[in-house]
Amino acid sequence: MIETMLQTGMNVWADVPPALQVVLWTLVKMLALVLPLMGVVAYLTLAERKVIGYIQIRVGPNRVGPRGFGQPIADALKLIMKELIIPSSANRFLFLLAPLVTLAPALAAWAVVPMSDGLVLSNIDAGLLYILAMTSVGVYGIIIAGWASNSKYSFLGAMRSAAQIVSYEIAMGFALVGVLMAAHSLNLTAIVKAQEGGLWNWYWLPLFPLFLVYFIAGVAETNRAPFDVAEGESEIVAGFHVEYSGMSFGLFMLAEYINMVLVAILTSIMFLGGWLSPFDGIPWIEDWMGGSSIFWLIGKAAFFLFMYLWMRATFPRYRYDQIMRLGWKVFIPITIVWLLVVGMLVMGQVGPWFD
Amino acid sequence: MMIPDIIFYIFATVLVLTSLMVVVVRNPVHAALFLILAFFTSACIWVLLEAEFLAITLVLVYVGAVMVLFLFVVMMLDINLAPMREGFAKALPVGMAVAILMFVELMLILGPSRFGINIIPTPNTHDAGYSNTKELGRILYTQYVYPFEIAAVILLVAIVAAIALTMRARRQSKYVRPEQQVNVKRNDRLRIVKVESEQRTR
């Protein structure tokens, strides 16, 4: 019974024209990437509320399902059922376009992120550049949302966010230049492979300042606390998405969390050896812990996501001019100086990293 | 027709239409947004030409940075369009003359005789291992290293010049230095005063 069904399935698949086969197969791969990502995002919201709850000696959400595990589903249902309000004097088309413009690049960047050796949607050579380009396009959603809402608060939030993202992109780009100098490649899989050989061969050690700059710039880039002046609920209500309701607001949240996961994964890939096991080359622990696998990547990314939540619960919001100062006067000089150091290390073929 | 051809014609149509809209559309913010779409579509066409490095750089630099600041400024401007259209009829003859002159000049340089499949042949396609990024880097840092470095220095001078031009000698706003803020001690701000309690008078 099952065999005949499989056989008919194979026959039908063979009849599909090859061009369509490629399209369908790519679609399946995209779904295999995006669906788990949506799950991660949903439970990241729960984790955020739980972690911050426990840090503040509360319990966090615990009503829906056992220990609050149904909360993300309830939230999603609520967002979908709510009315989509469009302000009467808003630019209707741009107002509805903005959430999509935020979400699309956030998802598109995932196309080149390798989860494990060979487990990547598109293994392109200019992967790092592609990610930089995609994350920089995401700012348009915020700007368009702020402008199209036709509200002063939205507009102020959008302006703040635009200036902040553009400033921090420079520091972020410089940090990535250090990585590509070290790995001699823009391909993310090649970057991970260049770090093979256990904990001390990863780039966090020789590129330590760049590692810190990249992660902090990543937090600023995703507009998360303590850099969330774009929202600034105590000053400008909720920034660029004051006027949004229901699922159009939900899409902004979705894009924000997808970008958080992306920054966490990229930090692990570029500075903490991606899917490589930290015990490579240590005989018996290597066997006991199992070799390099996607679980290491997930573990590292989970650590950085926890850092996100931890920082949010710990630090008060930066003042706007101090954000700009940190970006331009602290991070950019640090990265430029360290690029020189990395250049010298690479030329001198120092240590286990650059030989 | 092959699939890449179909994709090319789609992108080309979008590119031409959006470029047209940049000029035609009334609202300057809409025009800037159409310009962004035009950049994006031309980047897509460059990808079809196997120039992925240039395409991504176009998105990164123009879409990701330049147009953000452009949009930033355009959105904050409060442009009243009515007075700008007032002298339309009066300026039309001069404007038309300049426009025709420019069109003729452009035709002389970029006329149909300069284009065509026999003048600019289709670029060679490469196998999967070919990396446009590597090739570009190699040629930029060997054959063209001096022009490249000189261009970089000129841009650096431009940055310094722009900062020097806009820098004000005296800061108008009340500005707090973060390092002073961090180093502040309790004694700098706080004075504990012993106040004698008043005698009740009644």
- Tens digit of pLDDT for each residue in A211-221? 999 999 988 88
| Nearest partner of A173 among A131, A124, A219, A110, judged by Cα | A131
- pLDDT tier, A240 (very low <50, low <70, confident <90, very high otherwise): confident
> Which of the two residues, B149 and A352, has the higher pLDDT score?
B149
Question: Is B133 close to A325, i.e. CB distance below 8 A?
Answer: no
Q: What is the pTM of this model?
A: 0.84
Q: CB under 8 Å to A227, separation ≥6 — which residues?
A: A164, A219, A220, A317, A318, A323
Structure tokens at A126: 């200019």
Helix, strand or coil, per DSSP, at residue A121: coil
Q: Give the span between the Cα atoms of A170 and A215, in whole angstroms.
A: 13
Which pLDDT score is estimated for A193? 84
Which of A9-23, A310-324, B38-52 is predicted least confidently?
A: A9-23
Region class of B124: left (phi > 0), else alpha (psi between -120 and 50), else beta: beta
- pLDDT tier, B151 (very low <50, low <70, confident <90, very high otherwise): very high
| Beta bridge partner(s), residue A119 | A116
- pLDDT tier, B138 (very low <50, low <70, confident <90, very high otherwise): confident
- Distance of residue A287 Cα from the nearest chain B Cα, in angstroms: 35
Question: Is A133 close to B178, i.e. CB distance below 8 A?
Answer: no
**Most distant CA pair in chain A, distance:** 69
Structure tokens at B98: 């300049």
DSSP line for A210-270 = HHHHHHHHHHHHTT-TTS-TTT-HHHHTTGGGTT--HHHHHHHHHHHHHHHHHHHHHHHHH
Structure tokens at B112: 């149909």
Which pLDDT score is estimated for A290? 66
Q: Give the span between the Cα atoms of A41 and A131, in whole angstroms.
A: 19
Q: Which helix (H) or strand (E) holds B161?
A: helix B145-166
Which pLDDT score is estimated for B82? 66
- pLDDT tier, B170 (very low <50, low <70, confident <90, very high otherwise): low
| Nearest partner of B178 among A235, A232, A320, judged by Cα | A320
The Cα-based distances of A274 to A117, A294, A354, B117, B128 in angstroms read 10, 8, 18, 47, 25
Selected for mutation to probe chain B from A93, A128, A130, A184 (highest B CB count within 10 Å) is A130
Question: Is B68 close to A144, i.e. CB distance below 8 A?
Answer: no
Question: Is A129 close to B60, i.e. CB distance below 8 A?
Answer: yes
Q: Is the pLDDT of residue A190 over 80?
A: yes
Q: Is the pLDDT of residue B84 over 90?
A: no
Most confident of A247-251, A286-290, B77-81: A247-251
Q: Give the span between the Cα atoms of A3 and A117, in whole angstroms.
A: 32
DSSP A351: T
- pLDDT tier, B17 (very low <50, low <70, confident <90, very high otherwise): very high
What mean pLDDT is reported for chain B? 83
